[in-house]
């Protein structure tokens, strides 16, 4: 049954592409290419001449809209890179950011009534049935609370979960075929990428989770003069509906309006880069859906403009190891230390351990050196990405699925920067933020925070250590009881070895604690760990002792 459903969906995709005159996509992807001609026999194609006669960009946008949420989100991601798209396609795909056709007012009122178990006119003092904006998964409506606050109500599209799960099946099928038959499949890990994407997109369907994400981001940037996050009204939040503060601002994509308002565009662009790196490295919690439809600008003070973000369904986090490796990679890259970049890739396991560092260093230098000290407008990132992909194939670099959201967000940020202020020096803006974070991670303040976090465990160990040590020392030093038969383990050399081994275990544990806390100086913990291992080896039982 599942295979039949999958086949029907693939045929539907092909039918939509043919109906919108996108036959070349079928031919280039080999997607049931022979069946293309069968669709020419369908009356739906005969009477779709008006669809096929539309401009190319319009046909692509409308096809993505018809195919559903997954395809709309794909178009949104593409739209952030106008520099890599033909102008006619880029302009049309940009409409997917906040101009997706909404569902009807009747359906919206019905969904609100189901979410709150009572009609919208009872829940709110005022509710506009016409959508304020619509996107791939949800749409928003203006409303007013009985307490007087102007808010927006976000509700999910009808049957959106079923549509997404259906298309995830298609993505899994294609990913498994790619892994099995594509020579680069094992390295690009397509199935794991789809798994990561599935977790992300299904999380978007829980609006209580989105409300929690918004609250966390608001707390992280409380008092910031760079970005504002609207307030969440928790009493009105449900899994399929949420209510947030209504904010006003100029869409980030409306550059003409920003310039007319006298906005400090260079500062705005620099702040955008700093906000991104602050979210990733300081907070380890970043907005991962930063396409232009989700970002506005408050220009009440044009010399010090402030971002206002919405739509927090997708956020990203990294584990500590990946975050530190990324920061070190960025810094090494900014400082043109390509040997360090190569060694970090080996240490992190992103390339095979037998990779020759010198060759990887040379490949990275060849790709990256030409782009330094150039503004965004003079950098062909499409060419850079192509060269990096070739280098990745040469050295068997494995894709890291857990970094997918970060890479997607980086692409969005770079695309926004190119649109806003092409003269932006990305490296010069990001480097101080990363250096500050690295300093904070290895400084006394960070060590104190880690010690405070581990204080309950440390307190427990310290409370029980004296008694345990006293028992161990007593066992080692106490002479045999008078009249008791002598045991081999009671001889003096054996007791000394046992004492040495126990002491080694204590020294090893102490060194491990210092390493785990990243305490300064860092070499002390390593020396203690090595010393403890040596003492354990010296205190090991001899063959005669174990008889």
Active-site residues: which are they?
A: 289
* DSSP-assigned letters across all residues of 460-514: HHHHHHHHHHHHHHHHHHPPPPTTSPP-GGGSHHHHHHHHHHHHHHHHHHHHHHH
192 within 8 A of 401, measured Cβ to Cβ: yes
Alpha carbon dihedral 138, 143, 147, 148, in 10-degree steps, equals 130
Kindly state the helix (H) or strand (E) to which residue 133 belongs, with its residue range: strand 133-134
Taking Cα atoms as reference points, which of 107, 143, 99 lies closest to residue 124?
143
Alpha carbon dihedral 200, 69, 246, 108, in 10-degree steps, equals -120
Cα–Cα distance measured from residue 434 to residue 438, given in angstroms and rounded to the nearest whole number: 6
Cα–Cα distance measured from residue 178 to residue 172, given in angstroms and rounded to the nearest whole number: 10
311 within 8 A of 135, measured Cβ to Cβ: yes
Taking Cα atoms as reference points, which of 176, 184, 119, 127 lies closest to residue 151?
127
Taking Cα atoms as reference points, which of 93, 8, 9, 107 lies closest to residue 59?
93
* Ramachandran category for residue 189: left, alpha or beta (phi over 0 → left; psi -120 to 50 → alpha): left
Sequence-separated (6 or more) residues with CB below 8 Å from residue 236: 116, 123, 145, 151, 153, 242, 243
């Amino acid at each position: 049954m599942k295979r039949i459903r999958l086949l029907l969906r693939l045929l539907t995709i092909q039918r939509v592409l043919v109906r919108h005159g996108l036959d070349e996509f079928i031919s280039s992807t080999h997607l049931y290419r022979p069946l293309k001609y069968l669709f020419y026999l369908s009356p739906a194609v005969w009477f779709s001449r008006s669809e096929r006669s539309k401009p190319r960009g319009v046909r692509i946008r409308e096809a993505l809209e018809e195919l559903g949420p997954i395809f709309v989100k794909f178009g949104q991601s593409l739209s952030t890179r106008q520099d890599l798209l033909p102008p006619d396609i880029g302009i049309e795909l940009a409409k997917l950011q906040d101009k997706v056709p909404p569902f009807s007012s009747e359906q919206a009122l019905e969904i609100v009534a189901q979410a709150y178990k009572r009609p919208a006119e009872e829940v709110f003092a005022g509710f506009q049935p016409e959508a304020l904006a619509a996107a791939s998964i949800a749409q928003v409506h203006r409303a007013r609370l009985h307490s007087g606050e102007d808010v927006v109500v976000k509700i999910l599209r009808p049957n959106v979960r079923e549509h997404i799960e259906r298309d995830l099946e298609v993505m899994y099928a294609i990913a498994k075929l790619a892994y099995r038959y594509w020579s680069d499949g094992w390295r690009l890990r397509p199935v794991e990428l789809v798994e990561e994407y599935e977790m992300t997109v299904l999380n978007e369907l829980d609006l209580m989770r989105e409300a929690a994400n918004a609250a966390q981001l608001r707390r992280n940037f409380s008092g910031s003069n760079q970005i504002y996050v609207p307030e969440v009204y928790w009493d009105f939040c449900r899994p399929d509906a949420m209510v947030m503060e209504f904010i006003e601002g100029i869409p980030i994509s409306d550059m003409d309006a920003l310039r007319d308002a006298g906005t400090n565009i260079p500062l705005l662009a620099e702040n955008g880069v700093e906000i991104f790196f602050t979210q990733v490295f300081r907070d380890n919690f970043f907005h991962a859906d930063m396409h232009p439809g989700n970002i506005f600008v408050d220009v009440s003070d044009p010399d010090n403009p402030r971002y206002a973000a919405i739509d927090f369904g997708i956020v990203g986090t990294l584990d500590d190891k990946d975050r530190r490796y990324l920061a070190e990679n960025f810094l090494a890259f900014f400082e043109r230390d390509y040997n360090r970049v190569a060694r970090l890739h080996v240490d992190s396991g992103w390339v095979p351990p037998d990779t020759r560092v010198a060759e990887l260093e040379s490949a990275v230098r060849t790709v990256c050196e030409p782009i330094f000290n150039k503004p965004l407008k003079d950098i062909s990132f499409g060419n850079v990405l192509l060269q990096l992909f070739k280098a990745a194939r040469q050295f068997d670099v494995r894709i890291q699925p857990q970094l997918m959201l970060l890479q997607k967000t980086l692409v969005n940020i770079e695309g926004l920067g190119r649109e806003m202020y092409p003269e932006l020096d990305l490296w010069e803006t990001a480097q101080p933020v990363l250096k500050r974070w690295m300093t904070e991670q290895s400084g006394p303040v960070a060590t104190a925070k880690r010690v405070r976090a581990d204080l309950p465990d440390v307190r427990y160990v310290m409370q029980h250590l004296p008694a345990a040590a006293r028992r161990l020392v007593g066992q080692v030093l106490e002479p045999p009881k008078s009249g008791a038969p002598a045991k081999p383990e009671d001889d003096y050399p054996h007791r000394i070895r046992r004492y040495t081994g126990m002491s080694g275990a204590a020294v090893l544990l102490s060194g491990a604690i210092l390493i785990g806390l990243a305490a300064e100086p860092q070499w002390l913990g390593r020396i203690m760990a090595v010393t403890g291992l040596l003492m354990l080896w010296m205190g090991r039982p001899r063959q005669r002792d174990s008889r």
